[in-house]
Amino acid sequence: MENVQKIIKILNEKYKIKPWKEEPFKLLIGTILSQRTKDEKTSQAWKKLFSKAETPEKILKLSEKEIESLIKEVGFYRQKARRIKQVSKIILEKYKGKVPSSREELMNLPGVGPKTADVVLSYSFEKPVIAVDTHVATISKRLGWTKSDNPEKIREDLHRIIPKKYRLLINSLFVEFGKEICKAKPKCYKCPILKFCKYKQKNLQP
Those residues with Cβ within 8 angstroms of residue 171's Cβ, 6 or more apart along the chain or in another chain: 119, 122, 130, 131, 133, 135, 136
> What span, in angstroms and rounded, lies between the C-alpha atoms of 182 and 50?
33
> Which residue blocks in 18-163 are alpha helix, DSSP H?
24-34, 39-52, 56-60, 64-70, 77-94, 103-107, 114-123, 134-143, 151-161
Residue 142 class from Cβ within 10 Å (0-12 exposed, 13-18 middle, 19+ buried)?
buried
> What span, in angstroms and rounded, lies between the C-alpha atoms of 62 and 101?
26
> What positions carry a catalytic annotation?
115, 133
Task: Please compute Rg for the chain using Cα positions.
Answer: 18
